[in-house]
Structure 1
Amino acid sequence: MTTTFSQLGLPTALVKALDKQGLTEPFPIQTATIRDVADGRDVAGRAPTGSGKTLAFGLPILATVAQARPNRPKALILAPTRELAEQIRRDLAPYGKAMHRQVFAIYGGVRYQAQKDWMRRGVDVLVATPGRLEDLIEQGSVDLSEVNIVTVDEADRMADMGFLPTVRRILNQTSKDRQTLLFSATLDGDVAVLIREYQNEPVRHEAGTVESETTDAEHHFWLVENDEKVQHTANIVGVANRSIVFTRTRHGADRLAKQLSRIGVGAVAMHGGRSQNQRRRALQSFASGEAQALIATDVAARGIHIDAVASVVHFDPPADHKDYLHRSGRTARAGAAGTVISLVTGSQKRAVRRIQDKLDLRHPIEKRSPGRADRPRREEPRPSKQQHPKRARSNKKSERPIAIVDHPAPRTKQKRKPTPDGTQSLHVSNLPWEVTDDDVRVLFSPYGRVKQATVIIDNRGRSKGFGFVDMPYPDAQRAMRTLDGSRLSGRPLKVKVAASRAKRN
């Protein structure tokens, strides 16, 4: 039986606000966590990126938090990066408004004065990065003594970035009888110490495992020459269209963005060396579709949440398996499809093998040469003593690349009831003659699970210009809104709800 947000005990105002956002059924981590948080219990949640954990802690906080006095917030949410802090604020803003509670974020890279002014007005739920929060505490603009509920989000990343001493100092300034929530991709090591020192008999909840960040994506490892990596990246982005590309350094991100732009690929760079406004503009350019590729460093990309990222490219291999998970988690979020491609030079093979072994990703490192377009081919897993059926995904696709899709402004949403099993069938027309079933599947998969994609062909085996795509109802609605009117090989696509099968026949 499906649980609803109302059944989890959330106030009517929050349930109505969720419904306006199109959210009626909670994700597993939300179902598991919301009641315990609302009941005042400490919670340690193990949840991968994209699992819905922000609402898991944010909704019950907003349901119970009291109004704050100037400079004295009642609830505190700590995040490791500016982007994640701002993302949390945006995610919670409509629900804060519904409950008449002020949610505000403070982080580095912006002027102090505006943040001080907001604190003087009174902020009920404060989202903050540790460094800027400590600065404002020292300047007398924030007093944490009345904070009675704290969330430490992405605690494992806090540890990786060396923030735990600061986090401890901050927690020590909050109310002694506070409720402490902690969410992390892992709950061991330094995170386990934080749980032991600052939580009281916490309830533990898990939504998937750390490895679940990788199992919903298709993984490819390509052995390439160093001077071919830019062209490979351009080809991948040209096929996938919406890609996040990771480099090891800030300079590498800037250089790659310029190189891609010179060969006709829209790319923007985002890293810690850029101002907050520059980073925000880069994100907006990528999210709107103006830029096809976001070139980012590990720290800068932490907390990015953009729907329908088709692929992640490891231009430079990550430092370890944890960074591989965090990077790869930018695609295949919340059950959607996605592709992860690692570009590996000969000198990097051994390090990449170690990452694969840690994550049990049994894929060959396949020799590739850049052609006109790169398209992942089916890869057979390397043999292992213990096979994992859940990870044995089929990567079979047509070898013919699809064209880049340009997204226009969303059109008016069409509504038609789904079939009894929740499937919505879409009619796609004005397709190029050379398009295949797999091309259409790849085109629609960033918006959700494609149950079936069929291009109607003539007696010569070529497309008649139309076909059908079956997807779960919410995914189909999202795909239709985005793809209707977009262009494929210069042709404007028409996407609408298909007639019933009886009428088609």
Structure 2
Amino acid sequence: MTFEDLNINTFLLNALNDLGLTEPTPIQEQVFSVVMSGRDVCGIAQTGTGKTYAYLLPALRLYQFSKEKHPQIIILVPTRELVVQVMESVKALTTYMTVRTVGIFGGVNTKPQTAELLQGVDILVATPGRLVDFLMNGTINPKNVKRLIIDEFDEMLNLGFRAQLTVIFDKLPSKRQNLLFSATLTKDVETLVETFFNSPVRIETEAVGTPHQNITQSYYFVQNFYTKVNLLNLLLKNDESMTKVLVFVATKKLADTLYEQLQKTLQHKVDVIHSNKNQNHRFNSVGLFELGYCQVLIATDIIARGLDIDEVTHVINFDMPDMPENYIHRIGRTGRYDKKGTAVSFVTKNEVEYLKQVETLMNIELPILDSPEGLMISEKLLEEEIPKAKMKFITKLPDISDNSAYHDKTDKNKKVNVRRDHKAEMKRKYGKSYENRSRKS
């Protein structure tokens, strides 16, 4: 099937031709007709399968020009990076259409966003928190919203956006079409869908946890953090195919520490992004990485959903994720759009359990690789890697039946409360003269 076989107008077809796209992906093909029918949709698809266009194409096909300044379509995404990327996708598809698109997200001044919204908006791309801010202060009037699209629903719940989502559902018109897209369908997602959606059609192109067929996966068993650093440096030095490498770490602190270590050898060819980095830094870092000026980009899981970068050659799981679904999202950054990719994990003794969870989810056993020749095993440990000394707790009190270790106080140290007779003491001290003196006074 080609895009021409779908009920797509000339404007969208011309834009797709400009992008060099002629055939829809499975998720795009299956979603299109259902959305056009007006039904709610719950789409489950892995990253890199084209789900952004899966909801944009039918939504834009149904879009009708209006002079109203309030949005007809609201697209919710979990991160600022995704706001920018979805906006770019909208603009690419609306080259031959008159559509006002605005993106809003937190972490920046609200005044420029407010000014842009007041000029008018047809399609609004937003993070949940900032959308709630503008709904509550009246900047955004939701009365014209015909379609609510939620991308990466499971990640929004992981990031703690449940309260904001509930507010948004209550504020929007009850008569609207809901389109939900997620890589995984958790119990929390199902609960919210049952509560706020109207009998959605579930469309699942692949079972959750299906491994990416075009991604080669493997792992090394590594002793500790600094040995991982040595291994990564060695791989980057010896493998010329590692031209665009995305490295995932567990925490922001570890990301910064790894950056400091790699910068010693890679200098300006390595960069780091996480939620503590300001927005300009994050955008610039991703831009340099996408253009190829930066060879290695270090990131945390919160960024994994917001990166849509072409031709990532390798994904390195420097730390194994504690949630197996995040492994799927991570490695989905490579091998996109039918291209080959490589995913390599560094696994310590403490991370073996996480590896087993990933293998169980995907129902495969990942091959282990032999340590490359010349790998230096470091004895240096991070503070959190140093074994903690175990405290000895006394659970039984000593037996004091033998009183040899215990004895009474001496008479000198014994304290007895005695009622004193002051008058008698004075008489003993001064004799009759004291008594006579007392009578005279």
The 3-state SS of whatever aligns with 2:271 is strand
Q: Between Structure 1 and Structure 2, which shows a larger proportion of strand residues?
A: 1
2:264 partner amino acid:
R
Q: Deviations over 1:106-158 (max 9, x none)?
A: 11222211111111111101011001111122232112222110111111111
After superposition, give the CA deviation of every residue in 1:383-424 in whole Å (9 maximum; x if it has no partner).
xxxxxxxxxxxxxxxxxxxxxxxxxxxxxxxxxxxxxxxxxx
Answer yes or no: is 1:195 the counterpart of 2:198. no
The one of 264, 267, 270 aligned to 2:266 = 264
Q: Distance in 2 between matches of 1:131 and 1:237?
A: 39
Name the counterpart of 2:297: 294
Query: TM-score when scaled to structure 2?
Result: 0.80
Structure 2: gaps spanning 5 or more residues: 377-441
Matched, 1:230 2:229: yes
* 2:51 maps to which of 50, 53, 56: 53
Name the structure 2 match of 1:376: none
Deviation at residue 201 of structure 1 after TM alignment: 2.5
- Provide the residue aligned with 2:281 in structure 1: 278
Matches within 5 A, 1:34-53: 34-53=32-51
Change (3 A) 1:366 1:145: same
Runs of 4 or more above 6 Å deviation? none
SS of corresponding position for 2:143: coil
Q: Distance in 1 between matches of 2:210 and 2:96?
A: 33
Q: What residue number does 2:320 align with?
A: 317
| Bigger helix share | 2
1:241 alignment partner AA: T
Aligned residue for 2:344, secondary structure, equals: strand
The answer on whether the counterparts of 2:250 and 2:300 sit within 8 Å (CA) in structure 1 is yes
Match of 2:166 among 159, 165, 168: 168
Distance in 2 (alpha carbons) for counterparts of 1:364 and 1:41: 43
Distance in 1 separating the partners of 2:19 and 2:39: 28
- In 1, Cα distance between the equivalents of 2:141 and 2:236? 47
CA RMSD of aligned residues (A): 1.9
Q: Distance in 2 between matches of 1:358 and 1:21?
A: 35
Distance 1:248 1:188 in 2: 22
Of 330, 349, 354, the match for 1:351: 354
Note the C-alpha offset of 1:11: 0.7
Partners of 1:224 and 1:367 within 8 A in 2: no
**Paired residue type of 1:276:** Q
Residue 432 of structure 2 is matched in structure 1 by none
2-structure distance, mates of 1:62, 1:27? 17
In structure 1, the residue corresponding to 2:102 is in which secondary structure? strand
For 1:230, give the aligned amino acid: V
Tell me the distance in 1 between the aligned counterparts of 2:245 and 2:158: 25
Distance 1:67 1:115, change over 3 A: farther
**Aligned partners of 2:69 and 2:374: how far apart in 1?**
59
Note the C-alpha offset of 1:221: 1.3
**Residue identity matched to 2:323:** D
Deviations 1:163-200 (A, max 9, x none): 12211210221111100101111234111112212222
Shift of 1:364: 4.3
- The one-letter amino acid paired with 1:24 is T
Q: Taking structure 1 as reference, are residues 70 and 295 closer, same or farther at Cα in structure 2, changes over 3 Å only?
A: farther
Q: How many Å separate the matches in 2 of 1:94 and 1:259?
A: 39
Change (3 A) 1:297 1:370: farther
What displacement does 1:71 show?
Answer: 5.4
Relative distance call for 1:272 and 1:212 in structure 2 (3 A) is same
Q: Give the number of the structure whose alpha-carbon radius of gyration is greater.
A: 2
Matches of residues 57-456 of structure 1 in structure 2 within 5 Å? Answer: 57-67=55-65, 72-226=70-224, 227-238=226-237, 239=239, 240-264=242-266, 266-369=269-372, 371=374
In terms of mean alpha carbon deviation, does 153-162 or 229-238 score higher? 229-238
- Following superposition, the deviation at residue 77 of structure 1 comes to 0.6
Q: Distance in 1 between matches of 2:131 and 2:317?
A: 33
In the other structure, the counterpart of 1:430 is none
Q: 1:45 to 1:107 in 2, by over 3 A?
A: same
> CA-to-partner distance for each residue in 1:292-345, whole Å, 9 max, x for gaps?
011000002322001111111011111121111111111112221111111112
Secondary structure at 1:51 match in 2:
coil
In the alignment, the residues of structure 1 paired with residue 331 and residue 159 of structure 2 have an alpha-carbon distance, to the nearest angstrom, of: 19
Tell me, yes or no, if the aligned pair for 2:210 and 2:362 is still in contact at 8 Å: no
The secondary structure found in structure 2 opposite 1:145 is helix
What is the CA–CA distance in structure 1 between the aligned matches of 2:96 and 2:115, rounded to whole Å?
23
Using CA pairs below 8 Å that are at least 6 residues apart, which structure has the higher relative contact order?
Answer: 2
Between 316-325 and 35-44, report the one with greater CA deviation: 35-44
Which residue identity lines up with residue 136 of structure 1 in the other structure? Answer: F
2:17 equivalent in structure 1 = 19
Q: Distance in 2 between matches of 1:42 and 1:354?
A: 33
CA contact (8 A) 1:70 1:121 kept: no
Query: Residues of 1 paired with 2:7 and 2:348: CA distance?
Result: 53
In structure 1, the partner of 2:411 is none
Q: CA deviation at 1:366?
A: 4.3
Q: Which amino acid aligns with 2:153?
A: A
- In structure 1, the residue matched to 2:7 is 9
Distance of 2:374 and 2:208 partners within structure 1: 35
Instruction: Give me the whole-angstrom Cα distance separating, in 1, the residues matched to 2:367 and 2:375.
Output: 23
Which stretch has the larger CA shift, 326-335 or 194-203?
194-203
Structure 1 range deviating more: 278-287 or 62-71: 62-71
Cα distance in 1 for residues equivalent to 2:353 and 2:186: 26
- Cα 1:118–1:288 change in 2 (3 A) is same
Distance 1:326 1:246, change over 3 A: same
CA contact (8 A) 2:304 2:329 kept: no
AA matched with 2:333: R
Higher mean C-alpha displacement, 199-208 vs 147-156: 199-208
C-alpha distance 203-357 of structure 1, shift in aligned 2 (>3 A): closer
SS at match of 2:311: coil
SS in structure 1 opposite 2:144? coil
Are the aligned partners of 1:119 and 1:142 in contact in 2 as well (CA < 8 Å)? yes
CA distance in 1, matches of 2:211, 2:144: 36
Tell me, in whole angstroms, the C-alpha distance in 1 between the residues paired with 2:287 and 2:367. Answer: 36
